Structure 1
């Protein structure tokens, strides 16, 4: 039995992943951004060990979430599933003065990774749109460029792959990988999406629990249990280091290792 934390697991892919893992007998801890969603999550996955609350659009709440995770752990696996889409017509600035997509999708998983004990396996959810991402680390907050919500989302998903690869390099004892779940019919994916929830969860479940040689690798980008080539920028060690430096500057917390 593995102990597993899944961020953003009050609905969608995260909740379905939790349902599968809990039904298989694993000790699964959920995460929701507020108390109301936490109650909904616990009702939806009654076999879950509990729900941790914290809004990833707040650095203070993300730090508190990390503290709660430390108290609830240790975890064998952390699945960084939480994320928001790019449909905004204008950039939304959080209480920390950061662009919201970048903060929730990239800075928050970075901060949780930096503050929590190192698990055996780390899984970062990305998107096929990472292929269109551009590592504009000189303007990650979209202060100098005309706003493009979908490009901001694509960039953040590229950064998630870069983060997974950077952690794989810095923490060789941890299996750290990125997963494209596909275009899944969820609130985020929308009704026009082509794939169902089981397809969106299968690779994370496999990477979290399987001892197959294909699943016990690190620094890979997966879709449908297949290791694929990611955006070429994700393999640029210098760019990855710049991303880590930027996140450390914004959070005040360096990634150990």
Structure 2
């Protein structure tokens, strides 16, 4: 059955943390949300939680490291919706364990780049046809948001988590490339800050609600003319 909602959003890695909170806030704003998750049980549970709260949410199994999984997810999406308004590339890993780049394991770097960079590229490529079909494109614009990190900002970078940091710098480059290639789409990177999630840890300074705020703003209220930029707390920051 195809959703009748006029606004649709797909969030990768949406079974928990910032991704789930973004899905919840967008659903509250009237979006039909598609919960992308590699883990079937967790993804279904997350979507069901939103449905139980009265929102329209659909689970889509999506492993951003697997081209076949992404293509299958796009096929599943095509059976549920005829267009996409907002794509949020949120799925990411942080596997660094305190080592500097001097001791960085190349395999760890490969995994970070595959998930955090290549995954965002492949998902965007495969879901772009649905963004191009958005009936809202001329009014409020279609939007792609890449969830990055201040760890990837060159001006702030030191030795923290080299694989993760390098991957987020590369993701920012992906944002610039897509922004240049897609003049009709608002493509932006966002730093959610240090958020209390499985990745950020219990000692982080921000709640998931705070971490999701600027992402949701870019997906909804930010001017559609704002593209190719890096944001934190609704303000542009340096690359």
**TMscore range, shorter length:** 0.7 to 0.9
1:73-125 CA-partner distances (Å, limit 9, x unpaired): 4101101111111335875859xxx9221111110110111122252110000
Contact kept, 8 Å, 2:96 with 2:163, in 1: the verdict is no
Partner of 2:151: 129
5+ residue gaps, structure 1:
134-147, 231-257
Q: Give 1:149 deviation, angstroms.
A: 8.8
Q: Give 1:199 deviation, angstroms.
A: 1.1
Partner of 1:13: 18
Secondary structure of the structure 1 residue equivalent to 2:188:
strand
> Which one of 112, 128, 139 corresponds to residue 117 of structure 1?
128
1:205-242 CA-partner distances (Å, limit 9, x unpaired): 111111x54x6411110001001111xxxxxxxxxxxx
Q: CA RMSD in A?
A: 2.3
User: In 2 relative to 1, CA 84–48 (structure 1 residues): closer, same or farther, beyond 3 Å?
Assistant: farther
1:35 and 2:57 matched: no
Partner of 2:181: 170
Partner of 1:220: 229
Secondary structure of the structure 2 residue equivalent to 1:83:
coil
1:112-147 CA-partner distances (Å, limit 9, x unpaired): 1112225211000000100259xxxxxxxxxxxxxx
Partner of 1:236: none
Secondary structure of the structure 2 residue equivalent to 1:117:
helix
Matches within 5 A, 1:41-80: 41-46=46-51, 47-73=55-81, 74-80=83-89
Contact kept, 8 Å, 1:5 with 1:78, in 2: the verdict is yes
| Alignment: residue pair count | 211
Partner of 1:251: none
Q: Give 1:192 deviation, angstroms.
A: 1.7
Partner of 2:137: none
1:187 and 2:209 matched: no
Partner of 2:216: 205
1:36-80 CA-partner distances (Å, limit 9, x unpaired): 112221232222330100222323223322333344341011011
CA distance in 1 between counterparts of 2:64 and 2:26 reads: 23
What TM-score results when the alignment is normalised by the length of structure 2?
0.80
CA distance in 2 between counterparts of 1:174 and 1:45 reads: 28
CA distance in 1 between counterparts of 2:161 and 2:50 reads: 32
1:26 and 2:35 matched: no
What TM-score results when the alignment is normalised by the length of structure 1?
0.75
